[in-house]
Amino acid sequence: MSTVEDWTTHDTTAPAHEPLVIDDQDNQTFRVHRSAMTSAEVHRAEVERVFGHSWLYVGHESEVPKPGDFVRRNLAGRPIFMVRGAKSRDVNVFHNSCTHRGALVCRQDSGNSKVFQCFYHAWSFDSEGKLKGVPDREGYSNGLDFDRLSLAKVARVDSYRGFVFACFDADVVDLPTWLAGAKEYIDLVVDGCGGSVEIIKGTNEYSFDANYKLLIENSADGYHAASTHDTYFKYLVSIGTDLQGGVIGQAVKLGNGHAVIEYSAPWGRPVAKWEPLFGEDAKVEIDRIRAELTERYGAERAHKMCEVNRNLIIYPNLIINDIMAVTVRTMFSPAPNRVDVTAWELAPTDEVPSLRERRLDSFLTFLGPGGFATPDDVEALESCQTGFSSGGVEWNDISRGMGRGPMANDEQQMREFWRRWQQQMGDAADLGGAR
C-alpha cells in the first residue's frame, strides 16, 4: 500500500496486488483507488487499453453535410479528421498524417476542400483519402504505389442517428452492440428534436487541472447539484421558477459502461417545457411543439421528451446532457491531472430563429463557459485533484445507493462506468510499473 510520502506527489502509487476498483456486493461498498486519477503509469495503460479499444465519438454528420466538408479533431490524443467523400458521399475518418513523412495534411479546424495538400512536400490527397499528386514523381525510379500511399483510415467508423464514432481496434464489436441500451436514449434526444438534428456551429473548448474521469462522474451526478450549484437555484427562484418538488428520478444501467440518470426537475426544457426564463411569448410555440410530439409519438413518449431530463454517459468519454439544453461533450486527459473538454450544442435542424435563440440562451446560462454550472464544476473537480495529493486516504467511496433503489442522486451510474473501466484496465499488478 502507498505511504504518506507517496501521496505528496501527483503520481499516486497503485496498489500492488489489488484491482483499482473494489466492488463489494456483499457489504454494499464500492471503492476506486485514487491512483486511477493520479498515476502516470495508470494513465499510459488507460490510453492504450481503454481508448485504444473503445468506440469514441468523433462528431456529427451534420458537421460535414456537403462533399468536401471536413472537421479536424483530436481523438484520445491522436490527430484525425472527418470529411464527407466527394464520390462516395460517405463520412470518412482519416489519421491526420501524410503517408510520405508524417506531417499533418488537414491543418484547419473546419472547412471545405477537394484536396488536402501536405505543406511539407506538397503531396496531395482527395476527400476519399486517395493520393492524387506527388511533385517530381519521376524521382522514384520504381514508381509509386498510389493506392498503398493513400491516407490511412481509422480502423472502424460507424454512426448511429447521425453521431459518428470511430475505433482504433479493427476487432471491436459493432457500434450498435457497443452502444447497447444507450441507443434508446439517443433516440429520445433525436426524436424529441423532431427526428432531425444538427450541431450548432461553434464549440466550447476549455481545459483544467483534473482527471477526465472526475468530469465523467460529475456530468451525471445528481448528488452535488444542490450544494455546488446553489447560486443557480437561487437565480431560478429570483425569476419565478417554482422549485417545490425538487429533482425526482432514477439511475439506469445501459450496459458496456453506459448509464443515465433521468429525472423531472423544476427548470424548463427547450424541447417543450415552458419556464419564466423563456418569456410569456414562448408559451404558444412550446404548446405547439408538445402537441406535435404527442401526436407523433404518443402521450407517454412525448412526456419523456418534454418533461424528463437525461444526463447520459456513453463510455468512455462522451456525455449527452439533455437538460435545459442538449449538450454533447467529450473529454480526454493528456496527462493524469489535466483534462481537455470540447462541448457542442445540439438542436433541431432548421429550427426557427426565436427557438434557436432561446435554446442557446439556456445552454449558455447553465452550461456555457461563463454559466452557472461550468465554473462551479471546474472549481470542485480541481479541488478534488488537489486533495488527492494530501495523503492519508487511498480510496474514493462510490457506494451511495447500493442498499436501495437507484435514485437520480445515487451513484449507480458512476459504478457502471467504473466496472467497465476495470474490465478493460485489469489489475494494478499488470500496469507495467504502476506499483
Which tens digit of pLDDT belongs to each residue from 253-291? 999 999 999 998 777 887 888 877 777 878 888 888 999
Which has more pLDDT, 268 or 199?
199
Q: Which pLDDT belongs to residue 2?
A: 37
**Same-domain check for residues 239 and 324:** yes
3-class SS at 157? strand
Sign of torsion over alpha carbons 356, 361, 362, 367:
positive
Q: Which pLDDT belongs to residue 13?
A: 64
Q: For the domain that residue 322 is a member of, what is the CATH number?
A: 3.90.380.10
- The residue from 132, 147, 171 where one domain ends is 171
Q: How far is CA 262 from the centre of its chain?
A: 17
Band of pLDDT at residue 11, cut at 50, 70 and 90:
very low
Distance CA 289, CA 291 (A): 5
pTM: 0.92
Greatest Cα pair distance in the chain: 79
pLDDT of residue 89 exceeding 70: yes
Q: Please give the tally of structural domains in the chain.
A: 2
Q: Which pLDDT belongs to residue 428?
A: 59
**Same-domain check for residues 112 and 135:** yes
Cell 462506468 belongs to: 417
pLDDT-wise least confident of 128-132, 180-184, 196-200, 224-228: 224-228
pLDDT of residue 12 exceeding 70: no
Q: In what order do the strands lie in the sheet with 110-112?
A: 91-95, 78-84, 69-75, 110-112
The mean pLDDT of 127-149, rounded to a whole number, is 93
The mean pLDDT of 30-56, rounded to a whole number, is 97
Distance CA 35, CA 20 (A): 8
pLDDT of residue 3 exceeding 60: no
Could you list the beta-strand ranges (E) of 240-337.
248-255, 258-264, 308-314, 318-322, 326-335
**Same-domain check for residues 243 and 206:** yes
Percent of the chain topping pLDDT 70: 94
**Same-domain check for residues 321 and 264:** yes
Q: Which pLDDT belongs to residue 364?
A: 84
Distance CA 131, CA 47 (A): 30
Is residue 293 within 8 Å of 285, Cβ to Cβ? no
User: CA dist 98 to 107, 120, 126, 239, 307, Å?
Assistant: 12, 9, 12, 55, 49
Which has more pLDDT, 16 or 163?
163
Q: How far is CA 305 from the centre of its chain?
A: 21
Q: Which pLDDT belongs to residue 432?
A: 55
- The residue from 146, 171, 196 where one domain ends is 171
**Same-domain check for residues 268 and 389:** yes
pLDDT of residue 177 exceeding 90: yes
Q: In what order do the strands lie in the sheet with 29-33?
A: 21-24, 29-33, 395-397
Residue 352 in grid coordinates? 426557427
pLDDT of residue 130 exceeding 90: yes
pLDDT of residue 293 exceeding 90: yes
What are the pLDDT digits (tens) for 296-311?
Answer: 999 999 999 999 999 9
**Same-domain check for residues 275 and 353:** yes
The mean pLDDT of 354-375, rounded to a whole number, is 84
The mean pLDDT of 121-131, rounded to a whole number, is 98
Band of pLDDT at residue 246, cut at 50, 70 and 90:
low
- If you count them, how many residues does the chain have? 435
Asked if residue 14 belongs to a domain, the reply is: no
pLDDT of residue 56 exceeding 70: yes
**Same-domain check for residues 166 and 140:** yes
Q: Which pLDDT belongs to residue 353?
A: 85
Q: For the domain that residue 149 is a member of, what is the CATH number?
A: 2.102.10.10
- Reduced 3-state DSSP string for 333-346: EEECCEEEEEEEEE
Asked if residue 2 belongs to a domain, the reply is: no
- The residue from 148, 171, 194 where one domain ends is 171
**Same-domain check for residues 148 and 186:** no
Per the prediction, the chain carries an average pLDDT of 90
Band of pLDDT at residue 17, cut at 50, 70 and 90:
low
Q: Which pLDDT belongs to residue 121?
A: 96
What are the pLDDT digits (tens) for 391-423?
Answer: 999 999 999 999 887 888 899 999 999 999 999
Asked if residue 66 belongs to a domain, the reply is: yes
Q: What H or E segment, with its residue span, contains residue 132?
A: strand 131-133
Q: Which pLDDT belongs to residue 15?
A: 62
Q: Which pLDDT belongs to residue 7?
A: 33
Q: What range defines the domain where residue 80 resides?
A: 56-171
Going by the DSSP 8-state scheme, the letter that residue 413 receives in this structure is H
Is residue 312 within 8 Å of 260, Cβ to Cβ? yes
